Amino acid sequence: MLALSLATSVLPAADVQAKIDCSKVKCLALTFDDGPGKHTRPLLDLLKKEKVKATFFVTGKHVEESPSVVRRAAREGHAIGNHTYSHQSLPPLLDYEIIDQMRAASTVIEDATGRRVRMFRPPYGHTDERVLGIAGEQDLAQVLWTGTTLDWSLRDAKKIKAAVLRLARRDGVILMHDTVPQTVQAMPAIVKELKKRGYHLVTVPALAGAKGAKGLRPGVSYP
C-alpha cells in the first residue's frame, strides 16, 4: 500500500463558507460517497451553478482514475473526505489493514488536491471503537450521517428527491452517492426545494465548525 505523504497546507473548505453562520441560520450538509465517477462532473456543474457546497467521501482507487475531478471539487470549495482505498468493510480487517486502507486513500487524495485529509467515512457505515481509535491515530475524524436516502437501492429520481426532503432537518447530514445517475438527475429539484425551505447547503466542516459547535476532531465521530 502507499505510504502517507505530506500535503501542502491550504485553507480548508470550511473557510470558503466562513460567512455562513450555521448557529444563526438553517444549514444542511449534502454528502456523496463512492466517487469520483462519470456522474461527478455534471454534479459539480450543478453545484457551481447553484452556488452551493457539498462534501465528497471518495475512494482512493477512483481518485487514482480521475484525480482531476477531485482536484476540481476541492478547488471549487467542496470538502473531500476519505472513504478508504477500496471500499472494504473495516471491522473484520486487522489493524494494519485498516491503517493501509486509510493511509492509501489519504495519500492519493492529498496528491490530487494538495490538501490534508481530516475526515473519513467508513464504507457501509461499518465501524466500531477500534476503527474509530485507528482513525484518531491517523488524525481523522469519523463522519457518519443523520439520514440516508438509500439512493443506491431506489434508483428513481423522484423517490430520491422525496427521501432527501423527508430527511432534511437543521444541522443534518444526508448521505447520497454521486455514482447513482438518478441522484444526480434529482439534484436540481432537490437544491431548488431545499433553498425554498430556507436551507443553506454547506460542507460538513462548515457545519461542524459553526459557532458553539465542537468541530471535527480526530478520533471523534460526527454528527
- Give the catalytic positions in this structure: 33, 177
Instruction: Copy the grid coordinates of residue 122.
Output: 467508513
Cell numbers that stand for 123 in this block: 464504507
- Give one DSSP letter per residue of the chain, joined into a string: -PPP--------HHHHTTT--TTTS-EEEEEEES---TTHHHHHHHHHHHT---EEEE-HHHHHH-HHHHHHHHHTT-EEEE--SS---STTS-HHHHHHHHHHHHHHHHHHHSS---EE--GGG---HHHHHHHHHTT-EEE--SEE--HHHH--HHHHHHHHHHH--TTEEEEEETT-HHHHHHHHHHHHHHHHTT-EEE-HHHHHTSTT-----TT-EE-
Grid coordinates representing 33 are: 460517497
